[in-house]
Amino acid sequence: MTSFARRATLALVLSSVLLAGCGTTVAGQAEPVVGAGLQATTAPSSSTDPTSASTEVEPTVPTSLPDTSGGQVTEPSTSPSAATDVIGRPISGGQGAGVVPPELAEFYNQKLDWTDCTSFSTGSDNADLYATPGLECSYLILPLNYDDPSGPTVEMAVLRSKATGPDRVGSLLFNPGGPGASGMGIAAQFAAYGVSQELSASFDLVGFDTRGTGSSRPLIKCSTDAERDKVRATQYDTASAADMAAQEAATKQQALNCAERTGVDEGIDGAAFLATVGSVDVVKDMDVLRSVLGDEKLSYVGYSYGTLLGTLYAEAYPANVRALILDGAVDNSQTREESLLGQAKGFQGAFEDFAADCAQQAACVLGQDPAVATAVFQTLTRPLLKDPAPVDGGRVLTYNDAITGVIQAMYSETLWPGLRSALLDLSNGNGTALMALADSYEGRDADGKYSALMDGFTAIRCVDDERFTDPKAAAELSKKYNEAAPFADSGQPPSPSLDICAYWPVPPTLKAHTPKADGLPKVMVISTTGDPATPYQAGVDLAKDLNASLVTIKGTQHTGFLSLGNTCVDTAGVDYLIRLTDPVQPLDC
């Protein structure tokens, strides 16, 4: 089976623009690549069509919202006149399973109104997938603020494929990473393409779009398609005070746009909603979903950023856990600087692996000596800072987009042949193929429409992450990043620019800490030796912290369960999920 993409979170940390991890690799949260002269980025993770290593099934921003009432009772609107589709209260009549907090009984005991999934499609990318026979969708009503359950409500979109066998175990929830990638999409793919017949027979496969993302409402809205194109086409000189001031102004405006544009249709204050999109609140949403689905205990698979959700759930609700697989671990005990520099080393290592593979091929523009490949790559890409390469259709490939395209290809070895060809084209003055990789990472389709993923990624990251607010410290980190990942070093002075989170309208809600989940049953952590986005050691450390089984995958790849065709890891994971079988340790796949 070919590898399917899951959006990863890379972050070229010190700048205003976010890059989304992308479509032909594997799920994950990777932190940034802090490159001098690069606009700040951090990228998400998501999953794509398991039958294609180059197709992404991420939603595009809808031109109009579908009917998302989900059959819920809508209260009379008392919100601003701009509101067109106020979200109501939950439908009563359900019976929450397991522990139900009394103050939240209205939400835990709600009844879901399941229907076909066609109206939940967010664009052409997932319209056919959501029309797959047997899929059903609904909206879970949740409190905007868990401290005020009688106040405004929000909707989480949920997709389910019912168990096909007679011995149903329960529901199995998935999160593909990002943050902000579509859980509905990955569950639909697993159901449509029959990734694991045994899992499909034993579990209802369930995906959910976390608050503010995908088909959920309100949808986080920060940038229009035209604005995204303009940002990508703009390059800043880090040696120019005027350029740095212009970048700061653009970044501040983007943060303001996110608060002003989000929640308008639903009559919800944008800033108030953005304060609740972080992982701390999503974990609470997950427990409501578990109970409403009728499961006393949670069974869950999280990739990359999804491992953070799984870890936080284990800490908050250890007694509510049945089984967790955490693949591509995010190390929440690290400072953001430690995480970024760890990723920098990971991506440099992946680039060097690519260069060594390229050197064995006849047409490798990097040459036959991998030791000098980084220098050759710099010579090839740095001229784009002044002279972007033409792209078919009238666009141009900037330096930032070139680096983005390369980073996209580092998530999976299946993308290396395409990258090798794209770099050869670039050496001949054509940036079209490399721009296609960058577009896939950014979630831009052939019609110029962008997935909503990056706006969601931005908002969630800014509520979850430690913030950099000192330009001098930002420049120092940029310097360290360049040293750790020289392939992404533009040669310009280290950038002092702050990323969008420095100007975010609400404070972060998550603090770095070493996970502790007393009373947690045995869970499984999967970590890949050459994972560029979530380095191997993070998985080793998480397994130790949670007293979990550790499964090691050998290779250069971001995550691997059910995506590589690796019988060893897939068998171990499926046996664990269905039968709670603890694999013999250590297990190397």
Nearest alpha-carbon partner for 552 in 528, 575, 570: 528
Give residue 289's Cα distance to chain centre: 20
Name the active-site residue from 202, 223, 304, 495.
304
Domains and CATH numbers, the chain: 1-589 (3.40.50.1820)
**Worst-scoring range by mean pLDDT, 52-56, 171-175, 372-376?**
52-56
Average pLDDT, the chain: 86
Residue with tokens 């401290």: 147
C-alpha to C-alpha distance for 293 and 326, rounded to whole angstroms = 21
> Is 304 among the residues known to form the active site?
yes
Q: What is the pLDDT of residues 287-331, one digit of tens each?
A: 999 999 999 999 999 999 999 999 999 999 999 999 999 999 998
Residue 83, pLDDT score: 57
The H or E element that residue 135 is part of is: strand 135-143
Please state the φ and ψ torsions of residue 416, each to the nearest 5 degrees: -65, -40
Annotation marks residue 513 as catalytic? no
The two structure tokens encoding residue 457: 């990624």
Q: Could you confirm whether 531 is annotated as catalytic? A: yes
Q: Which residue has the higher pLDDT, 422 or 29?
A: 422
User: What pLDDT was estimated at residue 34?
Assistant: 32
Among the listed residues 565, 561, 556, 562, the one whose alpha carbon sits nearest the alpha carbon of residue 410: 556
Q: What is the DSSP letter of 528?
A: E
What is the arithmetic mean of pLDDT over 356-366? 94
Q: Catalytic one among 16, 161, 558, 570?
A: 558
The per-residue pLDDT for range 16-43, each reduced to its tens digit, is 222 223 332 223 333 333 333 333 333 3
Local confidence band at 196 (pLDDT 50, 70, 90 cut-offs): confident
In terms of Cβ atoms closer than 10 Å to its own Cβ (0-12, 13-18, 19+), residue 111 is middle
d(CA 513, CA 515) in angstroms, rounded, equals 6
- The residue assigned the tokens 């995010």 is 330
- What is the b/e burial string over 193-206, where b = at least 16 CB atoms within 10 angstroms of the residue's CB? eebbeebbebbbbb
d(CA 456, CA 176): 14
Q: Tokens for 203? A: 């579990």
- The stretch 372-387 carries a mean pLDDT of 97
**Degrees to nearest 5, angle at CA 243 with 240 and 247:** 140
Reported residue count of the chain is: 589
Helical residues (DSSP H) of 26-123, grouped into ranges: 105-108
CA separation for the pair 17, 231 (Å, rounded): 7
Q: What is the percent of the chain with per-residue pLDDT over 90, rounded to a whole number? A: 78
pLDDT over 70 for what percent of the chain? 86
Burial state string for 240-277 with b = 16 or more CB within 10 A and e = fewer than 16: eeebbeebbebbeebbebbbebbbbbbbbbbebbbbbb
Q: Is cis: bond before 218, omega within 30 of 0?
A: yes
Give the 3-state secondary structure of residue 588: strand
Q: How confident is the model at residue 51 (pLDDT cuts 50, 70, 90)?
A: very low
Query: How far apart are the C-alpha atoms of 550 and 523, rounded to whole Å?
Result: 9
Confidence of residue 85 (pLDDT cuts 50, 70, 90): confident
Give the active site residue among 531, 541, 545, 570.
531
For residues 429 and 423, give the distance between their C-alpha atoms in angstroms, rounded to a whole number.
10
430 phi/psi in degrees, rounded to 5: -115, 120
* Stretch among 31-35, 452-456, 556-560, 583-587 having the lowest mean pLDDT: 31-35
**Cβ neighbour number for residue 343 with a 10 Å cutoff:** 31
Torsion angle, alpha carbons of 367, 371, 373, 374, to 10: -170
